[in-house]
Amino acid sequence: MILKFKKLFVFTGILLLCMGFTLNKIDALVEKEIKATFKINSYTKEVIIIPFTINETLPLKMKDGDLMKITTPNLKGYYYIGHGFGKAAYFDFIIILDENLIVSKVKVLIYREEHGGEIGSNRWLKQFIGKTTENPLIYQKDIAAISGATISAKSLTNEVNKFLKTIQILHQKQLI
> Could you please report the per-residue DSSP string of 120-168?
G-HHHHGGGTT--SSS---BTTTB---TT-HHHHHHHHHHHHHHHHHHH
pTM: 0.82
Would you say the C-alpha torsion 153, 156, 159, 161 has a positive or negative sign? negative
Q: Please count the structural domains in the chain.
A: 1
| Cis, peptide link before residue 136, omega less than 30° from 0 | no
Contacts 24+ apart (CB under 8 A), 44-47: 44/70, 44/71, 44/72, 44/73, 45/69, 45/70, 45/71, 45/79, 46/71
pLDDT digit string (tens) for the chain, length 176 residues: 565 556 555 555 454 444 444 557 888 888 998 999 889 899 999 999 999 999 999 999 988 889 999 998 888 999 999 999 888 888 999 999 999 999 999 999 988 888 777 888 899 999 999 999 888 888 888 888 888 788 888 999 999 999 999 999 999 999 98
pLDDT at 146: 82
d(CA 5, CA 11): 10
Q: Which domain holds residue 101?
A: 2-172
The candidate with the shortest Cα–Cα distance to 168, out of 45, 54, 30, 52, is: 54
d(CA 95, CA 109): 10
User: Mapping DSSP to helix (H, G, I), strand (E, B) and coil, where does residue 52 land?
Assistant: helix
User: Mapping DSSP to helix (H, G, I), strand (E, B) and coil, where does residue 173 land?
Assistant: coil
Residue type at 47 in one-letter notation: V
d(CA 42, CA 44): 7
pLDDT at 19: 45
